[in-house]
Homo-oligomer: A and B are copies of this chain.
């Protein structure tokens, strides 16, 4: 087994990997930027090295500095986490060149899956089901019109190198197609330096369901169940669960088998995720493969009882998978909330800053993977994911109940978080009925939040508490009068505006 692993990441995922390493008695090496000296991953690692200023391009994305730390510290392997360099095949190659094991797939598999059109070509050869459309970039507007005619409107234009909704256009009629194609191509060029755009039949109100796979370096590949990821805002996943409310064992087996076929076709090794679009008739279509550990991997861990990071490390170490497909036992239901530093009352503006109070849930059925602590200053330089709160239950209803209970216990002051958003989702009738698709969250947010059951005497209770705080904790009361000038009014005005905008 490796004696030392470098974790080329930060935040909750770095902490999660450090924990796995400690469990396996592997020493850990953290890297950190100027903004992260006091971050939890630095505190928890056995070693920690500074790699540059706050901007990721000058620190967490600097392959040379990270490989230099690996060399200095004697780390034998690098876990890239998610984001940053995790899907960068050049980094995987650079690790191999430096004789450091990259804990993930080979550069070859990463490259194949990195280009959507190339992936589509390879997967079509392997007989993987696709949304009808082209498997390569459009050479002309005429070709686009012809394909669109064949698959039927509405169609979706997508950038080959795309991600995050950039270079995407939904086209309803032939008349719109030409100008949409031009603008998608120029956006793709601007965003990715590559104007290649392809066309697909648009699936109306699809679900986004993905399948976890795991492959060792000896040719064994298994699937570990699906994750329902349809709840998204601005193409970012917000809440994930497993099993999906619509997937039965037969459909799960079929999706799993396709996912394994995808992985095999890419000579895939280590942990990966095959994403599918699912239409209203439960047809599923290959979307893309994520060649890394996903943010939402814990929901699969909870329903299978496996530890994916342990298994990633063992696979990278050359071990065989310790089980076969038939041994995988899916039991119960798991849901994950991504706790972001953002303000639900203010158009989801990011909310970095100092965490002044932090009360964290625990107890039956609750897992918390967190990168924050009370007193920590959440930097403004990175993505706003603070922690993941998960629940496990005998069934979906119990998982929802336990998660609601845990969210009730969760309290973060000093910065804003989206905890209230999850409370809203979990009490929503459509969510409880499992009626989900990728448009679900936009529809929910378009409605006015009734704020849940409102209790009349609460305002009086708050007033009494305010007085008692002032009497019993006068130090803080003094502090209160400190900066309170006219800005109060300004801020709250600005807030009300933000709030009413969010409700449009």
> Is B366 touching A367 in the complex (CB atoms < 8 A)?
yes
A369-416 interface (Cβ within 8 A of B): 369-370, 392-394, 398, 401-402, 404-405, 408
A45-87 interface (Cβ within 8 A of B): none
> Is A402 touching B363 in the complex (CB atoms < 8 A)?
no
Q: Interface stretch among A153-161, A299-307, A442-450?
A: A299-307
Interface-centre pick from A307, A309, A363, A364 (highest chain B CB count, 10 A): A364
> Is A331 touching B305 in the complex (CB atoms < 8 A)?
yes
> Is residue A362 contacting chain B, with contact meaning CB distance below 8 A?
yes
| Residues in chain B near residue A298, CB distance under 8 A | 364
Given contacts A392-B305, A401-B24, A405-B19, contact A369 B360 (CB under 8 A): no
Q: Residue on B with the closest CB to A19?
A: B363
| Residues in chain B near residue A306, CB distance under 8 A | 394
| Cβ-neighbour of A364 out of B19, B398, B404 (below 8 A) | B19
Min CB gap A18→B, angstroms: 9
| Residues in chain B near residue A23, CB distance under 8 A | 398, 401-402, 404-405
Q: How far is the CA of A393 from the CA of B16 in the complex (A)?
A: 15
> Is residue A499 contacting chain B, with contact meaning CB distance below 8 A?
no
| Residues in chain B near residue A398, CB distance under 8 A | 23, 307, 310
> Is B367 touching A305 in the complex (CB atoms < 8 A)?
no
> Is residue A168 contacting chain B, with contact meaning CB distance below 8 A?
no
Min CB gap A234→B, angstroms: 29
Given contacts A305-B331, A305-B394, A394-B306, contact A22 B364 (CB under 8 A): no
> Is residue A94 contacting chain B, with contact meaning CB distance below 8 A?
no
| Residues in chain B near residue A350, CB distance under 8 A | none
Q: How far is the CA of A369 from the CA of B401 in the complex (A)?
A: 17
Min CB gap A376→B, angstroms: 14
Q: How far is the CA of A307 from the CA of B399 in the complex (A)?
A: 11
A1-36 interface (Cβ within 8 A of B): 15-16, 19-20, 22-25
> Is B364 touching A20 in the complex (CB atoms < 8 A)?
yes
> Is residue A233 contacting chain B, with contact meaning CB distance below 8 A?
no
Q: How far is the CA of A332 from the CA of B327 in the complex (A)?
A: 12
> Is residue A218 contacting chain B, with contact meaning CB distance below 8 A?
no
> Is A408 touching B22 in the complex (CB atoms < 8 A)?
yes
Q: How far is the CA of A212 from the CA of B9 in the complex (A)?
A: 44
Q: How far is the CA of A501 from the CA of B15 in the complex (A)?
A: 41
Q: Residue on B with the closest CB to A367?
A: B364
A267-282 interface (Cβ within 8 A of B): none
Min CB gap A465→B, angstroms: 14
| Residues in chain B near residue A331, CB distance under 8 A | 305, 329, 331
Q: How far is the CA of A16 from the CA of B23 in the complex (A)?
A: 27
Q: What 1/0 mask marks residues of chain A from 317 to 349 whose CB sits below 8 Å from any chain B CB?
A: 000000000000101100000000000000000
> Is residue A261 contacting chain B, with contact meaning CB distance below 8 A?
no
Q: How far is the CA of A370 from the CA of B364 in the complex (A)?
A: 11
> Is residue A365 contacting chain B, with contact meaning CB distance below 8 A?
yes
Q: How far is the CA of A402 from the CA of B305 in the complex (A)?
A: 13
> Is B364 touching A394 in the complex (CB atoms < 8 A)?
no
Q: Residue on B with the closest CB to A401?
A: B23
| Residues in chain B near residue A401, CB distance under 8 A | 23-25
Q: How far is the CA of A366 from the CA of B365 in the complex (A)?
A: 9
> Is B22 touching A405 in the complex (CB atoms < 8 A)?
yes
> Is residue A169 contacting chain B, with contact meaning CB distance below 8 A?
no
Min CB gap A325→B, angstroms: 16
> Is residue A368 contacting chain B, with contact meaning CB distance below 8 A?
yes
Given contacts A307-B398, A392-B305, A404-B23, contact A367 B363 (CB under 8 A): yes
Min CB gap A17→B, angstroms: 10
Q: Residue on B with the closest CB to A406?
A: B19
Min CB gap A114→B, angstroms: 29
Min CB gap A316→B, angstroms: 18
11 residue pairs A–B, Cβ–Cβ below 8 Å: A19-B363, A22-B408, A23-B402, A298-B364, A307-B364, A307-B365, A360-B360, A363-B368, A363-B369, A364-B369, A366-B367
A19-B363, A307-B365, A362-B367 known, 11 other contacts, Cβ within 8 Å: A15-B363, A16-B363, A16-B364, A22-B408, A23-B404, A305-B331, A305-B394, A307-B364, A329-B329, A362-B368, A363-B367
